[in-house]
Each structure stands twice: as C-alpha cells, then as structure tokens.
Amino acid sequence: MGRLLCLLSLLLLFSLPAQATGLIEEDTTIQATFNGEVLGLEALVVRPDDGRKHPLVVLSHGAPRKPADREGMRARNNIANAREFARRGWVVVAVMRRGYGESQGEYAESSGPCDNPDYVKSGRIAAEDIRQTILQMAKRPYVDGSKVVAVGQSAGGFSTVALTADPPPGLVAAISFAGGRGSNKPDSVCTESRLVDAFRTFGRTSRIPMMWVYTRNDHFFGPSLSLRFHTAFTEAGGQAQFVGAPDFGTDGHFLFSASGAPLWTPYVETFLASRGLTQFERPLPPRDTSAITYPKGLTENGRDAFVKYLDGATHKAFVMSSSGAFGWRTGRKDADQAVEEATEFCAAHSKKPCYAVMIDNDMVQ
C-alpha cells in the first residue's frame, strides 16, 4: 500500500501543471447560438481565485496562412496571454471561433478569393463568435458583464475592430495586436486597398475606445500599411490609439505572446489605466515553476519545453532520449498521433532511441 501511495503521489506531481499563483484555469465550452443553431466553441477560462466577480477579457486568435493548420489550433495556445490579464484582475476567456480547433461549426469567416476579397463580411462573421462568447460568459456567476474588454491578434484583432462597430452590451474598450486579414505570404496582402476600405467601414460606426499595437518588423501588415488602416479608421470616426512598437523577434506580428509580454504588458496597463479599467494595483505573482518535477536528463531548453508541454492541450506527448534530446507535440487528435510526431522530432535530433516520458498528463517512464 505504501508503494502504491508513493506511486500515485509521484503521478500527480507529474501530471498537474503548475498554475499561476492565485489563479483558476479551466477548459470549457461556450454554447453559442448562430442563426438559431447552438454550437460548442472550445475555450479556456483563467481567473483570479478569490471568490469575487471580475470584469471580462475575451481573447481572439489569428488565422494561419495554411487552412490545414486551423484544425490543430487550441484555446490553450493563448494561456500565457490569458494569465497576464488574469493576474491583473480579469476573468479571461480565450475562445476558438467556428472552424478552428475543436469548436463546432463550419469555417465561416473566409474573405473569399485573393483578387476579390470581402473583408467586411469576414470581419463581421468572426465578430459574431466574439459577441456570442461575451453574451454567454456574462451569465457566469464570477463574471461582471458590465465591463468587457475585447482583445485580438491578427485576424482576431481585425474581428475585434469589427466588433466595436456593432458592440455587444458591456463592451467598454478593445485592443488589437497586429490586426488585419488576408496576408497570403510575408509582406503581401490580398488586395490591400480592400482591407483599408474595411477599416474605414468599421470606423464609421465604431465608438469604442481602442488601442492598436503594430511592430516595425511585422511581415503580415507592415508599418506603412498599418498606418493606412489607422488613418482610414479614425478619419471615418473610429477611436483608436496607435502604438508603433519596436522590432520583435524575426517577425513582430507575433508580439502578443509569452516572450513578448515584457513589451506588450506595459502598453496594456497604460491603456487600461487611461480608461479607468485598472483592476489590481499590483498584479498577482507570476507562475511558480519551481515545484515541477522534470524528467531526468533534460537540458535547460528541455525544461523550458516541458513547462510549455504541461500547459498544452490534449492529446499530447513528451519524449526524450538518454542523450537529452527531446520532442513534444500537443493538441493532436489522439495520443498515438502525439507520440508518433514527438518521437519523429526527437529521433531527428538524437542518435539514441527516443522514448515517451509523458502522454497527455500521465507519466509513463
């Protein structure tokens, strides 16, 4: 019995991801209604663990250039960004729109052919997923639905702009990181004049205060184009503070991320404070990873990867070899696929056999 209890304790130690201090993190489903049909949208909720109601932040994801990549996207990919807002006193929901990840419903937000895109229609359709998420989350007992901030990146940022043109109850501010649509390859946008016109269209009725953040080295929507977006939107009547951020990594389009947090969180804090929306004067402490028990033999890079693995969506697998090489995959359709792909990656970087050390949240070695 003693050995069994010891084994169970070790298994739990391995299988429970370390959450940020004072936060509750839970996978959930948003029951959203579209044209009378109820569909489940994959979502992740991160919120302060204090038993109180808090205002809502809705995080909206981008759209990959390759349509086949939509299926592999997961709400948990946004967990690091969600934690940053939750540490500052917000209930945060990261939601997957129709046609992405494990959300139900067909992909509905296509802008059409590259030479004749309808960006306005695309933005409005995607905004409906955000609207439905806000309406449903406002019913939850821990949400103060009178104060809602919509935050989106790339296509999610563009959809957030569209949302402000026809805002749901409670929307008081919005933030767009690298907002846009239709980038088919680096430094190229399908019929970019149509995209500029779409921002102008949304600006005619948008009156929600916004902040837009674009980096100098964004290879989806570069500096000159993003300024055209802003000019079109604000001249039409929209309210948007433009932040021109410095270079970030090899492509600043991905600033809104865990590694970009030291740069983007001050922008967010300043903007929210200017709107009287600061919730906590001091953020809750960041996530404590010191209690995690790592597989033996992992390098520092391997440890960093293992922490990210623990946050990842199922199905997933982490494999390694005795030489310290490793591989991991998350958000796969089943455990077998996760193990196969992780092993393949590990084997390409190791002369010694690779073996699984964790499948989903269970230790196997």
pTM for this structure? 0.87
Helices (H) and strands (E) in the chain, counts: 9, 12
Query: If the chain, 365 residues long, is cut into consecutive pieces of 10 residues, what is the mean pLDDT of each piece?
Result: 39 38 92 98 98 98 97 94 98 99 97 98 99 98 98 99 99 99 98 99 99 99 99 99 98 97 98 98 87 88 91 90 93 91 95 94 81
Residue 21 is predicted with a pLDDT of 57
Q: pLDDT (tens digit, 9 = 90+) per residue, 299-355? A: 999 999 999 899 888 889 999 999 999 999 998 889 999 999 999 999 999 989 999
- DSSP letter at 77 equals G
Domain parsing of the chain, residue ranges: 23-274, 300-363
Tokens representing residue 143 in the block: 């949400």
Enter the tokens of residue 39: 């569909």
What pLDDT shows up at residue 6? 41
pLDDT score for 333: 83
Distance CA 293, CA 290 (A): 8
- Contact of 226 with 187, CB cutoff 8 Å: no
**Within a 10 A sphere around the Cβ of 298, how many other Cβ atoms?**
18
CATH number of 23-274: 3.40.50.1820
CA angle, 131 then 233 then 198, to 5°: 65
Q: Which of 153, 179, 159, 27 is nearest to 93 (CA)?
A: 27
> What element of type H or E holds 144?
strand 143-153
